[in-house]
């Protein structure tokens, strides 16, 4: 990411620093220091893409200082070496060097101006320019950049547009490049799609022109350090206390679970919560595209897929991981996102002694989840009769937990559904818990209740075997 040789920082982006106007909601500590040059208007930025924007005397003087300091900096520091330090240390180091350069060149700057210059240079050299203040905020779940002029964020389930802009698409592209070079990738016209990860674990997707028509689209799913717990989900109304109890039983009784839901519906969060009910003594292996799960167990092996390198070779797929995982004597296998042929391997694992395995699938309801998995297996090149595949699913998957992000931005578990078996050619499902929609309150927030359906789970005896019969009975008790 900091590599001088892989992707040299674009001096142009240091010469014309961005100056975001932050929305009112930005906490003071994330704001730029007072005296930051005013952001050019939307029109001006568009009209003069790439050309210096006219500013006050001070702006131009500071910009000149920045250019000079930046050039000195590149000459004097090996950014690759710096990249080995952690980000705070790098910032400190750069600040020191920049202060030194400023005093060596006998530049006259006030303390405020100096910190302004240092900040901007740090952001341009090391950081992600205009995105830095957003990355510093803990309340943001996603950052979505649609070309240089549009930056959206998601907080508390709501998407809003920010006033932050990039100087132009070239600066944005440069930042995208810097992000993906950290995982040894390149993004350009020839390979315009790329997944990467920030140093803090945040997941990044870049899709560049010509595929993205209005400029590079950058999407960042921010990594949350303090993961949500089931208790917190209850607090948010994502699930009722009794529903949460049912989830605990499901996790502890080693049922095979698929968490189903749309993008951002809270699948990974839920999966992570469920893993906290895994017995401490179990050997758990996780397979993910980009490690997000934070298991609290002592005995966990974390595996991660790898995209192909620049020559298009060396990819390690999810399927490779799941298959390898079976040779590692796992007791449970957890697949972050089941998307393709690995579905078949996971089902087999679930069915051959690795009970309590889990995964997430992108689907809008439990029934669709089943057909999605069937499709993944069919597309994976298995020429099995549909009925065989369905039997395999019915025998392997015991629970589907459906997560959803409702139109008010709240996340709910809408179904806890049991896979019961087969009826003819069809996989039969029964809902154990559902979210009943009751309407909206004055603020447009969705109202409803989680209710048990009154059906007796097929896994009752299993829960009993694990000493969880009472918990199960209480979880399913219809009295609120």
Ligand X SMILES: Nc1ncnc2c1ncn2[C@@H]1O[C@H](COP(=O)(O)OP(=O)(O)O)[C@@H](O)[C@H]1O
Cα(462)–Cα(256) distance, integer angstroms: 12
Q: How many residues does the chain have?
A: 480
Q: Whole-number minimum distance, CB 236 to ligand X, in Å?
A: 4
**Choice between 186 and 405, CB closer to ligand X:** 405
**Choice between 36 and 411, CB closer to ligand X:** 411
Q: What x-and-dash track marks residues 86-105 binding ligand X by CB under 6 A?
A: --------------------
Q: Which stretch binds ligand X (CB under 6 A): 28-36, 114-122, 267-275, 456-464?
A: 267-275
* Lateral strand order in the sheet of 193-197: 158-161, 151-155, 140-146, 217-221, 203-207, 193-197
CB 68 within 8 A of CB 105: yes
Cα(223)–Cα(142) distance, integer angstroms: 9
Cα(476)–Cα(480) distance, integer angstroms: 10
Cα(76)–Cα(97) distance, integer angstroms: 9
268 lines the binding site for Mg ion (CB under 5 A): yes
CB 396 within 8 A of CB 350: yes
Residue in 53, 269, 294, 305 binding ligand X, rule: CB under 6 A: 269
Enclosing H/E stretch for 413: strand 411-423
Q: If you write DSSP's letter for every residue of 100-136 in order, what string do you get?
A: HHHHHTT----HHHHHHHHHHHHHHHTS-GGGHHHHT
Task: Find the binding residues for Mg ion in span 201-230 (CB under 5 A).
Answer: none
Cα(111)–Cα(118) distance, integer angstroms: 10
CB 181 within 8 A of CB 7: yes
245, interface contact from Mg ion, ligand X, none, CB < 5-8 Å by kind: none
226 lines the binding site for ligand X (CB under 6 A): no
Q: Whole-number minimum distance, CB 413 to ligand X, in Å?
A: 8
228 lines the binding site for ligand X (CB under 6 A): yes
Task: Find the binding residues for ligand X in span 364-423 (CB under 6 A).
Answer: 411
Cα(166)–Cα(39) distance, integer angstroms: 10
Q: Which stretch binds ligand X (CB under 6 A): 21-29, 228-236, 247-255, 377-385?
A: 228-236
**Choice between 158 and 387, CB closer to ligand X:** 158
141 lines the binding site for ligand X (CB under 6 A): yes
299 lines the binding site for ligand X (CB under 6 A): no
Q: Whole-number minimum distance, CB 223 to Mg ion, in Å?
A: 12
261 lines the binding site for ligand X (CB under 6 A): yes
265 lines the binding site for Mg ion (CB under 5 A): no
Cα(124)–Cα(142) distance, integer angstroms: 21
Q: Which stretch binds ligand X (CB under 6 A): 53-61, 118-126, 262-270, 429-437?
A: 262-270
Residue in 233, 274, 333, 475 binding ligand X, rule: CB under 6 A: 233
DSSP reduced 3-state for 315: coil
236, interface contact from ligand X, Mg ion, none, CB < 5-8 Å by kind: ligand X
295 lines the binding site for ligand X (CB under 6 A): no
Q: Give the number of residues in contact with Mg ion, rule: CB under 5 A.
A: 2
Cα(357)–Cα(368) distance, integer angstroms: 20
39 lines the binding site for ligand X (CB under 6 A): no
Contacts to Mg ion by CB under 5 A = 267-268
Contacts to ligand X by CB under 6 A = 141, 224, 228, 233, 236, 238, 261, 263-269, 411
């Amino acid at each position: 990411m900091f590599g001088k040789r892989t992707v040299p920082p674009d001096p142009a982006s240091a010469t014309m620093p961005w100056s975001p106007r932050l929305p009112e909601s930005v906490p003071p500590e994330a704001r730029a220091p007072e005296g930051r040059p005013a952001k050019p208007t939307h029109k001006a930025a568009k009209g003069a893409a790439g050309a210096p924007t006219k500013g006050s005397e001070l702006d131009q003087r500071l910009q000149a200082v920045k250019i000079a300091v930046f050039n000195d900096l590149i000459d004097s520091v090996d950014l690759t070496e710096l990249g080995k330090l952690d980000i705070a240390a790098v910032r400190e180091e750069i600040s020191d060097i920049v202060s030194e350069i400023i005093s060596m060149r006998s530049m006259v700057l006030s303390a405020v101006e100096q910190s302004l210059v240092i900040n901007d240079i740090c952001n341009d050299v090391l950081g992600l320019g205009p995105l830095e203040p957003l990355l510093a905020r803990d309340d943001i779940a996603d950052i979505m950049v649609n070309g240089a002029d549009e930056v959206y964020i998601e907080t508390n389930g709501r998407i809003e547009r920010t006033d932050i802009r990039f100087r132009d698409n070239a600066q944005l592209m440069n930042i995208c490049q810097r992000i993906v070079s950290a995982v040894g990738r390149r993004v350009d016209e020839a390979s315009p799609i790329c997944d990467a990860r920030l140093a803090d674990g945040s997941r990044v997707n870049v899709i560049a022109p010509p595929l993205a028509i209005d400029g590079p689209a950058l999407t960042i799913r921010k990594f949350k350090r303090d993961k949500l717990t089931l208790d917190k989900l209850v607090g948010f109304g994502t699930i009722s206390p009794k529903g949460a109890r049912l989830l605990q039983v499901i996790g502890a009784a080693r049922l095979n679970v698929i968490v189903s839901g749309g993008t951002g519906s809270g699948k990974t969060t839920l999966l992570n919560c469920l893993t906290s009910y895994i017995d401490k003594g179990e050997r758990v292996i996780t397979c993910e595209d980009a490690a997000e799960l934070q298991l609290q167990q002592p005995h966990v092996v974390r595996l991660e897929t790898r995209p192909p390198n620049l020559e298009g070779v060396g990819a390690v797929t999810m399927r490779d991981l799941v298959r390898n995982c079976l040779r590692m004597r796992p007791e449970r296998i957890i697949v972050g996102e089941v998307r393709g042929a690995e579905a078949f391997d996971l089902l087999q694992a679930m069915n051959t002694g690795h009970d309590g395995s889990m995964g997430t699938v992108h689907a809008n309801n439990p029934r669709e989840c089943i057909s999605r998995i069937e499709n993944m297996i069919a597309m994976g090149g298995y020429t099995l009769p549909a009925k065989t595949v369905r039997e395999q699913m019915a025998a392997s998957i015991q629970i589907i937990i459906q997560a959803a992000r409702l139109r008010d931005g709240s996340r709910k578990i809408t179904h806890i559904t049991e896979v019961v078996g087969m009826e003819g050619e069809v996989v039969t499902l029964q809902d154990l818990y559902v979210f009943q929609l009751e309407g909206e309150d004055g603020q447009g927030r969705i109202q409803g209740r989680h209710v048990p359906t009154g059906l007796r789970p097929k896994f009752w005896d299993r829960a009993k075997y694990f000493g969880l019969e009472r918990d199960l009975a209480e979880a399913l008790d219809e009295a609120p």
